[in-house]
Amino acid sequence: MNLLYVAIGGAVGSTARYLLASAINQARAPHAAAGTFVVNVIGCFTFGIILAISEHRADLSSSTRAFLLVGVLGGFTTFSSYAYETFVMLRDAQFLQAALNAGGQVFLGLLALSAGYALVRLL
C-alpha cells in the first residue's frame, strides 16, 4: 500500500516542483537555475519540519511518512533526501562518510551527466 502513497505523493510533488520552478524561472532569467535552487531549499526545509514532527511531536505512520517524505518531497526534490542522509551522517559524527556522500554525489553526478551527454554526442 505504501507504494501507492509514494506514487500519489510523487505526482503531487513533481507537479508542485514544475509549477513553482517554472514561475520562478519566468520571473528571472530562464537559465539562471533559480527555480531549482528555491525548490531544493524549500524541499530541505520542509523535510526538516516533517522529520522533527515525526521524531519529537507526533508518531507519523509509515504510510504518512512514505507519502510525505518519499512521495511528495521525493517528487518535489530528491535533494532533500540527499541532504537528510548527509545530515544524519553528520549528526552521528560520521564526518568522513558525510564528506564522501556530499562531495561524491556532486562530483560523480556531474561526471555521469557529462559522460552521458558526451556518449550521445559521439553516437
Task: Report pLDDT digits (tens) over 19-58.
Answer: 999 998 888 766 667 888 899 999 999 999 999 999 898 8
Predicted pLDDT at 39:
92
Distance CA 66, CA 73 (A): 10
Above pLDDT 90, what percent of the chain?
A: 74
Inside any domain, residue 61: yes
Inside any domain, residue 106: no
Q: What is the DSSP letter of 29?
A: -
Which CA distances in Å does 119 have to 63, 107, 109?
40, 18, 15
Inside any domain, residue 102: no
Domain tally, the chain? 1
Inside any domain, residue 97: no
**Comparing C-alpha atoms, which of 64, 55, 61 is closest to residue 87?**
55
Inside any domain, residue 34: yes
Domain hosting residue 55, numbered range: 2-77
Inside any domain, residue 7: yes
Alpha carbons within 13 A on the beta-carbon side of 2: 9
Which pTM value belongs to this model?
0.80
Contacts of 70 (CB under 8 A, 6+ apart): 6, 9, 10, 81
Inside any domain, residue 83: no
Query: Interhelix angle for 34-52 vs 2-27, to 10°?
Result: 140
Label residue 38 exposed, middle or buried (CB < 10 Å: 0-12, 13-18, 19+).
middle
Inside any domain, residue 40: yes
pLDDT confidence band for 81 (50 / 70 / 90):
confident
> Are 74 and 41 a contacting pair, CB within 8 Å?
no
